[in-house]
Each structure stands twice: as C-alpha cells, then as structure tokens.
Chains A and B, each alone.
Chain A
Amino acid sequence: MRRALVAGLFFLLLLGGWEALSRSGLWSAVILPPPGAVARYLWGGLRDGSLAEAALVTGRRLAAGYLLGAAVGLPLGFLTAKSRTASDTVGVLALGLQTLPSVCWAPLAILWFGQTETAVLFVVVMGTVWSIALATDGGVRGVPPIFGRAARTMGSRGLHTMLRVTLPASLPVVVSGMKQGWAFAWRSLMAAEIFVTILTGFGLGHLLHYGRELHAMDQVLGVMIVVVAVGLLVDRAVFGPAERWLRRRWGAEGR
C-alpha cells in the first residue's frame, strides 16, 4: 500500500514537472505539448481505435518475431554450449552479431525483402536470436556438472538428461536471457517500423514516424508512452510471474 502510494506520488510529480515546464514558455507548445494535449491525443486514439489497432499490428509482429527468434536462439544456444565446433563457429558469429544494433539490419532487410512484413520480421529476429542464443549458451554452461552426474547414476541419458536436467537447471539464466531477448525484440521492432514503411499494417512505430513528419508532438509523446506501457505490461505480466516462480523454487541463491 505504502509502495503504491510512493509510486503514485512519484509519477504525479513527474507529470507536474512536465506541466510546469510546458507552461514556463521555454519551448513552444508545438515542441513540448502539455500533458493535457498528449492525454487528449491518447483518449482520441483510444476512442477511434487507431491506437489499439496499431498496438495490435505491432504486437502481432512482435510475437511472431520474438517466438521465431526464441525458437531458433534456444536450440542454437544449447548447441553452442554442447559442441566445441558449434561454439567456435556459430558461437563466435553470435557474439559478433549481438553487438550489432539491430537497426543496422534495416537497410539490408529493405534491399532483400522490400517494404514488406518479411523485412520487419527479419530485423526483429536478427535483433532477438543472438542475445537469446548467448544467454542460453551461458545458462547451459553454468549448470553444475554434479547434476548431470547425479542424473546419470539414476539412469538418465541423452535426450532425457537434456530435457529433464540441463534445460530446467539452466532455466534461471535462460529466463533472464529471454527477458533480455524480449527487450531487444521490442527495440528492433520499433526501429524496423520506423524504417520500413509498409502498407500491410500500421504499427506503433509508424504512428511515431508520421507524428514526427506531421510535427504532431502530442502524437509522438503519446505513442512513446504507449510503447513504454506495453513494455512494462509484458515485463510484469509475463516475466514477473516466471521470475517469482524461479525465486520460489530456487530460493535466494537463484542466479
């Protein structure tokens, strides 16, 4: 209760500071619209459904890109952790590509796939897959060997060991990797939507982009708030419970 109060107060202060700043006349209302204007935009966007629609389009792309990235990244991480050859080849590649900001894929994606959904998907997957692979690799390597030995004495082998021992044992690290991967996917998608102006769907990134083109700062700020809110929501709704479960199971020593 107290925590909610403190948090509420903090955000109220933030809003108040913003309001004061926009009233001070230091910047024109075109550049820094007051909170009220942004709220009006948000309300309008909610009423006419344009925001929800954009969020839906973006969410669909995000889900597709993230799931694909995870579906490739998880096994890839397993592979590089278990095979010396894979680690020396794909592992190094992953390490290199992870440092590449995913926006850098946008020009290539546009050349290869044109202004299409595929181009967006490509950028998101490229932004996600390497960080998830590296996290999984680290998680699997960090599994104490004693678990594998104990499992072997109980008759566990091969695939059984992999699925019933290595995978759950690496879970704390893998989950934090998945969370990091989600952050990367979200960033990549916003970058992709700003660069790849496709007509098959109008995402949040596009709203942001056109807000800028039209000098509609209330729209820009409004969409930014929505982007932050979606990010927070997913963090709380998806990763929060997973992390709580891990903490309950592993205890404080959970990595």
Chain B
Amino acid sequence: MSKSFPSDKGPVLALDRVSLEVAEGEFVCLVGPSGCGKTTLLNIVAGLDRPDAGEVLADGGPVRGPGADRMVMFQESALFPWLDAMGNVEFGLGLKPGLDRRTRRDYAHYYLRMVGLERFRHAAVHELSGGMKQRVALARALAPEPRVLLMDEPFASLDALTREQFYGDLQRIWRQHRRTILLVTHNVREAACLGDRVVLLSPHPGRIREEFRVDLPRPRDFHGVELARHSGEIMAALRGHLESPPAEGAE
C-alpha cells in the first residue's frame, strides 16, 4: 500500500508500495530512522488512517476501521487522566460485549498484575512514572485480548534500565499469551531482542528495504553476544540503505 501527506513542498510519500505479511502469533519489529513512515504504517493497520492505494487484509478480509481485534500502544502516552490505572484498563473492556462488571474487574486486575502494577490500581495517571504509565498502557491494550497488538515506540521515553526490564517482561507476557505483535522502534538492538523478524524501512519515500529473521531462543539477553552479532548485522544493512537511495522500481 501507499500513503502520502500534503505539505508545503508538494505531497510527501510517507509509504511507497509497502507490502508486509505477518503470521498469526508472530512478533515483527519495524525499524527505521525518523520519518520513514513507521507510525503511518501502524496507524493504517490500526484502521485509524486509510491508505491512498492498496489495503490491509486481516484473515483475508479488508480492514475498514479500528477494531477491538487490533489494539494500539501509542508513541506518546494516551492514558486517560480522568481515570485511575484500573479505570484505564477497564475502558476497553467496557466496550467488549458480553462482559459483566465482575468479569471486567477480574480481567483488569489480572492484566494489571501481569505488568506488576496491581498495587497502583487506584493511582491517578499523573502519579505514575513514565515506565509505569507505559505498563498501564500495555495492560490496557492487552486486557480486551486483541489478536494483534500494535506498539509504536513504547519504550522511547524510558530510561535504559527501565527499558531493559520491560524487554524481559514483554518477552514473558508474549510467551504466556501468544499475540501477533507489530512493534515500531528505531533501536536496532531492541528490535533484534524482541522480534522474530526485523523489517527495515528507509525514508523519502518510505519503503521496506530488507528483512531479517532472528532465530535466537527466548528469553533473550539484551547484552548477549549472539544478539550483538545479529543487531550488528542489521545495523550495517540499515546504514547501507540509508546511504544508497532506493533504485526506482526495484524492490
């Protein structure tokens, strides 16, 4: 699919004939420098934006709008400040048909415990640290049990220590509850640490340039030697792509 945005200097091709297939239960990381269309791609998959050309297919049917089968964790914090942590997690559950109040609470409890924040369930959003906010956002996205989880740089605003702890937690959660995950990042090592597959994008126009498979056993150690080898390889490829603009039409 393709997508362009109007700007002062003519349209910007945010995505140029991008094609990506993701299998059920797969963890795919999208990596690329700022402005290569990662967020745009994720928004289109989420159904929040429409592509100019092409389409998104889920289980063979076209995606026409946002749906509870695809939850999003946004780049910036999108928690609702008028609700406490629990209320935020329950928000999406309240829109799921066939759940009574009790079940909703149980679900919300369960997912808050999973991200290690059960004690903070009545905390106001502003009382949570950046890392805790992202944990609540993760619980909120997981609670309605979507089939696909879309994460847009969920760790961008976290310090290194909190981030690495998060990698461990996310791997654990992913192994317990196998979900299809599409994660955007511009940290190559992070992508290699988390993904089954790492997809490289380059900007102007936004294109998919190369894909890497990471077949390391989980849980993966962020500082492991094997991981370093993989991420080094991907990093080199990324550098190459950024230096050489894509040949027209060749993909």
Q: Is the CB of A153 within 8 A of B72?
A: yes
B126 at interface, CB cutoff 8 A: yes
Contact of A146 with B82 at beta-carbon distance under 8 Å, contacts A155-B67, A251-B124 already known: no
A152 touching B126 in the complex, CB below 8 Å, given contacts A168-B80, A249-B81: no
B91 touches A (CB below 8 Å): yes
A251 CA / B78 CA spacing, docked (Å): 16
Task: Count A-side interface residues using an 8 Å CB cutoff.
Answer: 23
Give the docked Cα–Cα distance between A108 and B226 (Å): 84
Beyond A149-B48, A154-B91, 16 additional pairs, beta carbon < 8 A: A147-B78, A150-B74, A150-B80, A153-B47, A153-B66, A153-B72, A154-B95, A155-B66, A155-B67, A155-B68, A155-B92, A155-B144, A156-B95, A250-B126, A251-B81, A253-B126
Q: Does B85 contact A (CB under 8 A)?
A: no
Q: List 24 A-B contacts (CB under 8 A).
A: A146-B74, A149-B48, A150-B78, A151-B91, A152-B48, A152-B65, A153-B47, A153-B48, A153-B71, A154-B91, A154-B92, A154-B95, A154-B140, A155-B66, A155-B67, A155-B96, A156-B91, A249-B82, A249-B126, A250-B126, A251-B81, A251-B124, A251-B126, A254-B81
- The reply on A163 being an interface residue by CB < 8 A is no
Say whether A160 faces chain B, with CB atoms less than 8 Å apart. Answer: yes
Q: How many A-B residue pairs have CB under 8 A?
A: 67
- Rounded to whole Å, the gap between the CB of A167 and the closest CB of chain B is 9
Contact B124 A248 (CB under 8 A): yes
Q: Check A252–B126 contact: CB distance below 8 A.
A: yes
> B65: shortest Cβ distance to chain A, in Å?
8
- Is B82 within 8 A of A149, CB to CB? no
Partner of A171, one of B68, B72, B82, B96: B82
A window 225-251: CB within 8 A of B: 248-251
B82 touches A154 (CB 8 A): no
A156 to B70, CA, bound (A): 13
Which 4 residue pairs of A and B lie closest in terms of their CB atoms, listed nearest first? A251-B126, A154-B92, A168-B82, A150-B78
Contact B72–A150 (Cβ < 8 Å): yes
Distance, CA A169 to CA B81, complexed state (A)? 8
Smallest CB gap from A146: residue in B: B78
* A150: nearest chain-B partner, CB-CB: B78
Q: How far is the CB of A171 from chain B (nearest CB, A)?
A: 6
- Residues of B70-102 at the interface with A, using a CB-CB cut-off of 8 Å, are 70-72, 74, 76, 78, 80-83, 91-92, 95-96
Contact of A146 among B67, B76, B127 (CB under 8 A): B76
B124–A154 touching, CB < 8 Å: no
Chain B proximity of A172: nearest CB distance (Å): 9
Interface residues in A44-61 (C-beta closer than 8 Å to B): none
